[in-house]
Structure 1
Amino acid sequence: MAFQTIATNFECFAVFRDDVLVRSGEGRALVKEYYRDAPRRVPLAKLNGEQDNVWREIQSTIDHIEQGDYLAAIAAYRFIFERLRGMAD
């Protein structure tokens, strides 16, 4: 995967976080959860051989963001974290 693609995807997530999620209590809670849990959970995808599946889910979330379907993007984002949370249990 090209570095530029990865950087663009993370930029998309950052804009979504800063322009959409932080405008609601639920969104702020998702952002807080991300910063609290992601450093521990994201490496689990690689340990469990799930990095390709998680990457596809990230791409799906980004597709929703780019289409302006923020409710679907939030649902997809939650699904990613639930999947990672399940790997930790």
Structure 2
Amino acid sequence: MNYQALTNDSLIMMYDGIRAALESDDELLGLGEQPRSRVRETSDWKQHAADLEHEMLRRSMIFEVIDWGDGQIKGPFEDETGNLHA
């Protein structure tokens, strides 16, 4: 995908869509149901999120990092609240 061609708003919208799908999956799992999007089980979701993060950082955008709940370590541009900045 050509992330450079997207607007800032589009990048955020796509990133928030990943977050929403992850939250929905987690909620369904909590109810004992199967996740619809399988965000945690499908590596392409994380890659898509990473590509979006890369482009947003390249543009010096501020955003809240998705918490994958897998013991991720804060990146060099991440503050204590999870927001990224250049």
TM-score, normalized by length of structure 1? 0.30
Structure 1 or 2: larger strand share? 2
Structure 1 or 2: larger helix share? 1
Instruction: Name the larger-Rg structure.
Output: 2
